[in-house]
């Protein structure tokens, strides 16, 4: 038998990063004790994107990390091009890491003649050559079903609840959902915080006016309690700040805002700085520029979760076990 036929193939985990959030990719690489694969990437004069990896990727287990930060369409396109390059360079398996999944809020039709853009996103990644998706705190869990392959839906809640327990665990707490649609998530938070009571904000929203809603009233007893106001993301900050104001007006002792994704569009930072919230806790699934940081803001790293999940996928282990208490 020749030496070639006796050779045992070695598996190789390689981490690739787009240009949207290289700091997070480097954190994940450090935890995995590997280096981010050197990549040449630049824009042509007309805005087209060029990507080439500076070392061989043949037969590797590729993990492609890109958070869909603004300008979001450029971030998405760059990641699709990276996946295509890996497929054509004979990567064995391609896992796409989306700390923040772009277009996740467009997961169903509210009005006639609207797209379901979250489904289109899944189709694009599959067509490009992705074998698996890994993402954090989807806007709705049903998006997992849009991708015809494995989806690892990671939860930032344990990272956020650890911080809340450490700093507010001795207070009388209430967990508050900013709308009725997030009640299930709030229930999970309440269980993680030792059975804290639940409340939610009744609000109205006009589907023709995006990023606008009106907090009408608090449903539940929050008097004298520190309210942990939980959501998956903060975009312009209007909904979450109105909810915080409604809670304080209803007799809450204090309000702490906790959200996974700090989108922070437009007036978000000014609204949050001037809100009655004591603290705003987010993760670094998206890059947060220095001019968008403020005294009340606490940023927790999602990198340990992404690194553990990547290692579990590479070693054919259980990702679900990461969330067992």
Concerning whether 171 is annotated as a catalytic residue, the answer is no
Q: Which residues of the chain have pLDDT under 70?
A: 1-10, 203-216, 323-325
* pLDDT given for residue 291 in this prediction: 96
| Contact assessment for residue 80 and residue 128, using Cβ atoms and an 8 Å cutoff | yes
The token duo for 134 is 């890994």
For 39, phi then psi, to 5°, come to -135, 140
The pLDDT value given to residue 273: 97
Q: What is the pLDDT of residue 209?
A: 61
Q: Which of 309, 304, 307 is nearest to 321 (CA)?
A: 309
Question: Could you give the C-alpha distances from 113 to 173, 249, 301, in angstroms and in order?
Answer: 43, 40, 39
Whether the CA torsion 304, 264, 184, 199 is positive or negative: it is positive
Considering the candidates 87, 108, 184, 203, report the single residue annotated as catalytic: 203
Burial class (CB in 10 A: 0-12, 13-18, 19+), 92: middle
């Amino acid at each position: 038998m020749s030496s070639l036929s006796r050779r045992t193939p070695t598996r190789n985990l390689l981490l690739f990063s787009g240009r949207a959030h290289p700091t997070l990719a480097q954190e994940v690489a450090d935890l995995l004790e590997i280096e981010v694969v050197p990549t040449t990437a630049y824009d042509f004069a007309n805005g087209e994107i060029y990507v080439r990896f500076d070392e061989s990727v043949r037969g590797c287990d590729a993990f492609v990390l890109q958070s869909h930060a603004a300008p979001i369409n450029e971030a998405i396109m760059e990641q699709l091009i990276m996946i295509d390059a890996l497929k054509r360079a004979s990567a064995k398996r391609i896992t796409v890491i989306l700390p923040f999944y772009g277009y996740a809020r467009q997961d169903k039709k509210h009005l006639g003649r609207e797209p379901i853009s979250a489904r289109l996103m899944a189709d694009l990644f599959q067509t490009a050559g992705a074998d698996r998706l890994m993402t954090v705190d989807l806007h709705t869990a049903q998006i997992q079903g849009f991708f015809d392959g494995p989806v690892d839906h990671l939860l930032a809640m344990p990272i956020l609840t650890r911080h809340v327990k450490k700093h507010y665990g001795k207070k009388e707490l209430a967990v508050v959902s900013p709308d009725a649609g997030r009640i299930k998530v709030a229930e999970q938070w309440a269980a993680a915080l030792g059975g804290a009571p639940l409340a939610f904000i009744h609000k109205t929203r006009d589907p023709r006016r995006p990023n606008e809603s009106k907090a009408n009233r608090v449903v539940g007893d929050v008097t004298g309690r520190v309210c942990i106001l939980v959501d998956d993301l903060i975009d312009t900050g209007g909904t979450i700040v109105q909810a915080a104001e409604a809670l304080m007006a209803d007799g809450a002792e204090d309000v702490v805002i906790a959200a996974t994704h700090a989108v922070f569009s437009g007036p978000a930072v000014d609204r949050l700085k001037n809100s009655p919230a004591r603290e705003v806790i987010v993760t670094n699934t998206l890059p947060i520029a220095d001019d968008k940081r403020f005294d009340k803001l606490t940023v927790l790293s999602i990198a340990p979760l992404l690194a553990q999940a990547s290692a579990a996928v590479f070693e054919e282990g259980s990702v679900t076990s990461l969330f067992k208490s």
